[in-house]
Amino acid sequence: MSELSFEERRELFLNVAARLFEERGYKNTSVEDIAAELGFTKKVFYYYWKNKQEIVQEIHDRGLALINTQLDAVLEREHEPAARLDAAIRNHIRSVLRDRSIAGALLGDFDFSEETLEGRRAYTRRFQELVEEGIAAGVVRDLDPKMLTFAILSVCNSVGGWYRPDGRLSSEEIQEIFASFAAEGWRTSSTGGR
Amino acid sequence: MSELSFEERRELFLNVAARLFEERGYKNTSVEDIAAELGFTKKVFYYYWKNKQEIVQEIHDRGLALINTQLDAVLEREHEPAARLDAAIRNHIRSVLRDRSIAGALLGDFDFSEETLEGRRAYTRRFQELVEEGIAAGVVRDLDPKMLTFAILSVCNSVGGWYRPDGRLSSEEIQEIFASFAAEGWRTSSTGGR
DNA sequence: CCATTAATTCACCAATTGGTGAATTAATGT
DNA sequence: ACATTAATTCACCAATTGGTGAATTAATGG
């Protein structure tokens, strides 16, 4: 009758914690809050987790691993530089919209381990490489690659801050709008030329 | 010999608090930290301020008032819809780069009063109106105005998150890159037409 | 049934922190 | 000098919170 394994129970904590961190912020969520949400004393939390830092770390690491894996798959299918960057952007937005803990992880206010921060930097670097390849191929504007990468990622990340599944627009629509904005900006391309 | 008025002393606290909030975050800055930075006991803080909420509120409100005033001035000079939106964007980026407390205020994690939140919404609405005027005039792409406004502002705000005055690029360069990205996106305009 | 291990609770500690009351010192006008 | 007010300090409270030790209950295998 005891249905859940140790790992499954951990998963339970993980999901609840991710949701609460994202709703109230890391500092505003106590270990007791997390445990209480599952009907437990906070000591139970410490039975499954070493400390508060460990769980937020794991939320972050899983989110980053997921988005990286999906990016692998996406990039395998695209070969033209502009298409690759566009696909990476759409993958990022999609990930953030689907799994809110990813947004929380990427924007969070907690202090991560150096290792985790390096993971974040590595992901950013993947993007910057796509940008640089695009510039080299002449399909991406010749702006400072680092700044351009930051700008693109900030657009992608921002949707996580306010998107609600029951909102006016579907996640597909939002993805389309933001990816399109990142690619073309707000200005009407003067089709008349010049 | 006592050189500072009550108001001037308040200003002192205001500046220090703004800097600390922005460096460490609101929750991670104690009232004692703020007072200690000025060589005071924390009780002195409470001599000049009602509570912690009051000072963060005032930081936010001043920042918002400043950026609104500057936007007034900027918009008085521009009349063509595209130029107005572009000028508003540059004004926003410039403000965020110059006064770091504005970035902190716009991105902060504290819980604001309803009144303050309304101020924030009003500022966003000004932007959205510029976007809508641009769409009506055919100089801004016909994307969902609200989403487009969010996307633009998220780009503008993001610079506040990592800009350091002693960094590789000047604030003018950053402003140019981000405003340009917001307007045109990352994709090379295929000058070949189509 | 019993011994062992897994899971959970209770009561507590220590540190931090927002905030306060009462007393003390510095400045000021008269 | 002196009374008054402005400015500041000290000691403290109460609440929150991350984390722990010891005991207790539930599950399990022999």
- Interface size between A and B, measured as CB pairs under 8 A: 126
Mutate which: B85, B117, B187, B191, vs A, most A CBs within 10 A? B187
- Say yes or no: Cβ of A126 under 7 A from any atom of strand D: no
- CA B70, distance to chain mean position in Å, is 12
Nearest CA in chain A to B161: A154
Nearest CA distance, B66 vs chain A (angstrom)? 24
A185 sits in the region (left: phi over 0; alpha: psi -120 to 50; else beta) called left
Query: Which positions in chain A touch B110 (Cβ < 8 Å)?
Result: none
Distances (CA, A) of A21 to A36, A150, A178, B14: 14, 24, 25, 29
Q: What is the signed CA dihedral for A21, A24, A27, A32, rounded to 10 degrees?
A: -70
Question: How close are the terminal C-alpha atoms of chain A, in Å?
Answer: 73
One pLDDT digit (tens) per residue for chain B, 194 residues: 346 789 999 999 999 999 999 888 899 999 999 999 999 999 999 999 999 999 999 999 999 999 999 999 999 999 999 999 999 999 999 999 998 777 776 776 677 888 888 999 999 999 999 999 999 999 999 999 999 999 999 999 999 888 989 999 999 999 999 999 999 999 998 664 44
Query: Which positions in chain B touch A181 (Cβ < 8 Å)?
Result: 141, 143, 147-148, 151-152, 185
Q: How confident is the model at residue A13 (pLDDT cuts 50, 70, 90)?
A: very high
Query: Which positions in chain B touch A188 (Cβ < 8 Å)?
Result: 138-141
Residue A109 main-chain phi, psi, to 5 deg: -110, 0
Nearest CA distance, A150 vs chain B (angstrom)? 8
Cβ–Cβ of B143/A189 closer than 8 Å?
Answer: no
Q: Which of A108, A33, A55, A43 is nearest to B27 (CA)?
A: A108
Residue A17 CB partners (closer than 8 Å, separation 6+):
A29, A34, A55, A56, A59
Q: Which of B92, B113, B110, B31 is nearest to A109 (CA)?
A: B110
Nucleotide with the nearest C1' to A32 CA: D17
Query: Which positions in chain B touch A185 (Cβ < 8 Å)?
Result: 141, 181-185
pLDDT of res. B160 = 85
Nearest CA distance, B33 vs chain A (angstrom)? 18
**Complete DSSP assignment for B67-82:** HHHHHHHHHHH--SHH
Of B161, B169, B184, nearest to A187 by CB-CB distance is B184
pTM for the model = 0.91
